[in-house]
Amino acid sequence: MPERPPAVTRRRLLAAAALTSGLGLVAGAAPAVARPTSRGVVLPAPTGPAHLGTVSLHLVDSTRTDPWVPSRPAREIMIQIWYPARHARGCPPAPWLSPGAVPHFAEAFGFPADVIRATTTHARVGTPADHGRGARPVVLYSPGLGGDRGTSTALVEDLAAHGYIVVTIDHTHDASEVEFPGGRVEVSAIPPEIDDQVIAQVVAVREADTRFVLDQLAALNAGAGRRPLPPGLRGAFDLNRVGMFGHSLGGSTAAATMHDDRRLKAGVNLDGTLVGAAAVAGSDRPFLLLSSDHGTDPEDPTWDTFWANQRGWKRELRLSGSTHASFNDSEVFFPQLAAALGLTPEQVAEQIGTLDPHRSITIQRAYLRAFFDQHLRRRAGDRFRAPDPRYPEITFTR
């Protein structure tokens, strides 16, 4: 991940806010060589009752050449499906990052490769899906610019453990690295000088990826093609109840796709500047804005524009003591790897804020799940009617 730029207004457009969205280090914060360790990072256990399964799929859109590498005749992306499983027996735990992608990730982000390689999720690869009482609501996830599909696994796993099917998207050549079947690894090909034109193209590509994924999920669910899926997963997607959330530019992707594609019924933006006309245009469906604690910085003007245009249910909340990176797995990685990376407590706080990381994840999980429960499952609740004394760290901005 590129170095964090100088101080700027929160979530400012272009390289500033966009490039802080992954798991990168503050410039100069890490030693030249991280201290070796063989232990992986421990992800927080999901709070839901379901066992978890996962499967990664290679999708090819033959209607598009790759926008970042035009020599490739088709757009290829990877997605990962996380789902409630019947059991956790007999299948290996899924790695946090696919093995072939680890060397590039470790070099790009400054983390020890052995730690990343040893970090596993709570999901089992290919284990049978639990149909439960019928088809399940679906939530898509888009990471921040430069982020891999697994960068918010702590949030994704919790939704799946509570009965959702979650589909995480790797935006190839935008993501720092993506491993494809056979071990081929594609790395970021976005121009190093990021200006308005590049950002506009990034957003357009991400939205096209997302809409293509929706098409492919419909085909998979209907049994089209011969793509192998874990037992019980085909037919398990309720594609009449689809939501989306994203961090940073992924949140803008969710807003833009919500405006342009009515298949999305509800969306969440986690601390992302809204880029482009579609993202700020709003929709007639529910949308949640959750921001980091930006202190006395002015409100992001793109959020003001969205708020004025949004016709459906809307709410804006702020998480006290958080930073832009609080809304991905930085909350998990930095506290556990501080010693290996030579980070002081102050440097860790610069990355993820002053709020206790376990508490931050607990709050994010609670509000994300409550939002989708309310708007995809029609479950009544008062979480968004007024401040909840159980979560005083959440401020109702408007």
pLDDT digits (tens, 9 = 90+) for 275-324: 999 999 999 999 999 999 986 677 799 999 999 999 999 999 999 999 99
Question: What does the domain layout of the chain look like in residue ranges?
Answer: 51-396
Evaluate whether 87 touches 128 at the Cβ level (below 8 Å). Answer: yes
Query: In this structure, which amino acid lies at residue 373?
Result: D
* pLDDT at residue 20 in the model: 41
Q: Span 51-396: which CATH code?
A: 3.40.50.1820
* pLDDT at residue 99 in the model: 97
Q: Which residues of the chain have pLDDT under 50?
A: 1-21, 25-36
Evaluate whether 126 touches 222 at the Cβ level (below 8 Å). Answer: no
Tokens of 86: 């019947």
Q: What is the per-residue pLDDT across 147-176, written as a single tens digit (0 to 9) for each? A: 999 999 999 999 999 999 999 999 999 999
